[in-house]
Amino acid sequence: MTFLSLLAALVVTPPAGQIIVDRADGAWESQQVQEPCILPNPKDPSKLVMFYSGVPKSNRVVCAVGKAWASVKDPFTWHQDRRNPVFGPIGKGWDATTIRLDAVLYIPEEDAYYIYYSATAGNIQDHIGLAICPAGPDGYSSITPVNIRRYSAAPVLSPEPTAPYSEEMASQAAVWREKKRGRWSWYMYYSYRGKDGTLPGIRLATSSDGKTWTRHFNQNDPRGMGQIFASTPDAYYEWHQVSKIGRTYVLSTEVGTDYGKRWRPVIAVSDRPDSGWKQLDVDTVLQTKWTGIYRDDAIYHVATPAFYKIGGKWYLYTQACPLPNNHNYIDGQWDLWCFTCSRRIPTLGRDAIYVPQ
């Protein structure tokens, strides 16, 4: 073996895409794994912390939250906690039945994780809540059921039934915060159901502390629904992630076009967190364009998309499932995937996001 061939054999080429959490790994996540919320470990920059949700085959109404960790050098290999799940419904109150993970922020001044989640006492998550967990000495071990405490006995955002909102449900909050003129401003981008239909788009709420929220109705929405951007008709807008690339704010959203016929990642961008949002074409990140990766029997549906820049490279974390025999995505068997991203997509100005090739 020559020196060059030996060197080539030693260089590890990351896969274009692979399952990182298999639903078969635990009974609590045996139907589907979803909502990858990944943060740098605040106590160890060489490691990553992931919060995510799982749904069991035995009762597909139930959903709970687990945790895992990975090395920054290997964002494809995740170590799930054997005691998962770490957060779930407790059988009483407004979130008695099921919990679905929305977003997780690390708050340095409190040395704590803020965990936003959608939950219900019925069958469909219809309110948004907040739980807080101390990061602890190593940023990971203290994420336990006993340490994750609900902020309040009430949701932090409930559906608003009065006009112009006319909401029956509010769920799936992506949360962003930034400091302006010495004060923190918080932004929540949430999905809803109501007069406008089922998950017809995304609306905005704001806060000064992440706990008390004020919703906003966008009068400039051309569809008259008060959404932050003009959504695609006959599509479902559900779980989403918010981030910032350069000066551009980016929403990565799971969208089921044609009433859920094909779920895919859809991107919206703005140069301001509270207005000016524009959706890119719904086929921009469509998985059938991922050369050499896409297969009907593996990633026909792609949902809960989240983009992360790790170690100088971009990755897309999603849940994905094959096309179910009955063509109903609700019956899909979803695993959690990671995909490398090397195709450059312009956003605003010189800022760009990278998506699977």
| Span 223-266, pLDDT tens digits | 999 999 999 999 999 999 999 999 999 999 999 999 999 999 99
Q: How far apart are CA 152 and CA 350, in angstroms?
A: 42
Question: What per-residue confidence (pLDDT) applies to 17?
Answer: 95
Q: What stretches of 95-246 adopt beta strand conformation (E)?
A: 98-107, 112-120, 127-134, 149-150, 167-180, 183-194, 197-207, 214-216, 236-245
**What does the pLDDT read at residue 349?**
83
Instruction: Residue 198: name the closest of 260, 282, 241 by CA.
Output: 260
Question: Per residue in 47-73, pLDDT tens?
Answer: 999 999 999 999 999 999 999 999 999
Say if 22 falls within a structural domain. Answer: yes
Burial tier of 15 (Cβ tally within 10 Å: 0-12, 13-18, 19+): exposed
Helical spans, DSSP H, in the chain? 3-10, 257-260, 296-299
Low-confidence spans in the chain with pLDDT less than 70? 1-15
Is 3 inside any structural domain?
no
Alpha-carbon distances of 332 from 36, 198, 298, 320, 328, rounded to whole Å: 18, 20, 11, 9, 7
Neighbours of 200 (CB within 10 A): 22
pTM of this structure: 0.94
Q: Is residue 227 part of a domain?
A: yes
The neighbouring-strand residues paired with 190 are 203
- Pairwise CA distance, residues 292 & 95, whole Å: 42
Q: What's the mean per-residue pLDDT of the chain?
A: 94
pLDDT of residue 15: 63
Say which residues have a Cβ less than 8 Å from residue 220's Cβ, sequence separation at least 6: 275
In a domain, 8, yes or no: no
Supply the pLDDT for residue 357. 87
Domain with 323, as residue range(s), is: 15-355
Residue 14 pLDDT? 59
Which tokens belong to 266? 């859809």
CATH of the domain at 60: 2.115.10.20
Residue 138 lies in a domain: yes
Number of domains in the chain: 1
Measured CA to CA, the distance from residue 316 to residue 172 in angstroms comes to 19
Residue 1 within any structural domain of the chain: no
Tell me whether residue 263 is in a domain.
Answer: yes
At 63 the pLDDT is 95
Please tell me the distance from the alpha carbon of residue 347 to that of residue 313, in angstroms, as a whole number. Answer: 18
Does residue 151 sit within a domain? yes
